[in-house]
Amino acid sequence: MFELAALTPRLPRRGRGFWFSLAIDALWPIVVLFVRMRMAGRHNVPSNGGVILAANHLSNADTVSTVVFTLASGRVPRIFAKASLWRMPVVGWIMRSGKHIPVQRGTERAAESLDLAVAALDQGECVGVFPEGTFTRDPDGWPMKAKSGAARLALTSRAPVIPVAQWGTQHITPRGKVVPRLLPRKTVHVVAGPAVDLSDLYDQELTREVLDEATERIMAAITTLLRGIRLSES
């Protein structure tokens, strides 16, 4: 079921931007040497057109594993991330170069991230989002109740939502840690499922009930995939 990431896969390069591309080229050998990346369901990621990849959120390493999986699936990701990263030296260059999407949490500009994401999807981009908005607080690592942003983005853009579950990143950067623990070598599973069916909600008003229903479907699909990963490990 799962495939190991190759050391020199054919990764898409067009549209990565200089600094984002440089970061990928620098990090990829480290990931392959120190992490057993096991991936499944890459065929569920459309090869072109606007698409949303919605993943669970365990640790700071999730962004790297999501980027690796997306690139290995033949797409260049545009990741939702906290806006403060754009103000950091070097990291800010990478975020701007990769055309990632800053999230202005708790400000009047919070809606701008949705507009930027919709525009990216309209241009045929692959947008990565963590619907929970932060690391799960569930003590056993299961996805927690998500925010409505991913559902709103999906229903506004009508782009397909591909659920993605990942497991093992929490062992690389445990909660509260920034420096990754690469030894002993860790295994990270990433699996994508078929698109979540939201078509019956497209023409409805975006009420709280509709957004909650879409959110629950997305998170249920992610949780089902995660359950499969964890059962395969037991």
Is residue 31 a contact partner of residue 11, using CB atoms and an 8 Å limit?
no
pLDDT of residue 7: 45
pLDDT of residue 119: 97
Single pTM value for the model: 0.93
104 vs 53 pLDDT, higher one: 53
CATH 3.40.1130.10 assigned to domain 15-28+48-174+183-233? The reply is yes
Tokens of 22: 């440089």
pLDDT of residue 107: 66
> Which parts of the chain fold into alpha helices (H)?
18-34, 62-72, 91-97, 111-122, 149-157, 169-172, 208-233
CA angle 224, 226, 230 (to 5 degrees): 120
> What amino acid occupies position 229?
I
Is residue 92 a contact partner of residue 100, using CB atoms and an 8 Å limit?
no
User: What's the Cα-to-Cα distance from 177 to each of 59, 137, 141, 209, rounded to whole Å?
Assistant: 9, 15, 16, 37
Which residues, in sequence order, are CB contacts of 175 under 8 Å at separation 6+?
A: 59, 135
pLDDT of residue 105: 72
Instruction: Count other Cβ atoms within 10 Å, centred on residue 185.
Output: 9
> What number of H helices and E strands is found in the chain?
7, 8
At 140-174, the pLDDT tens digits run 999 999 999 999 999 999 999 999 999 999 999 99
- What does pLDDT average to over the chain? 92
pLDDT at 5 over 80: no
3 vs 178 pLDDT, higher one: 178
Tokens of 234: 């037991």
Which residues, in sequence order, are CB contacts of 35 under 8 Å at separation 6+?
A: 172, 182, 185, 186, 187, 188
pLDDT at 22 over 80: yes
- Integer-rounded Cα Rg, in Å, for the chain is 17
At 75-118, the pLDDT tens digits run 999 999 989 999 999 999 999 999 999 998 766 677 889 999 99
Helix (H) or strand (E) holding 82: strand 77-82
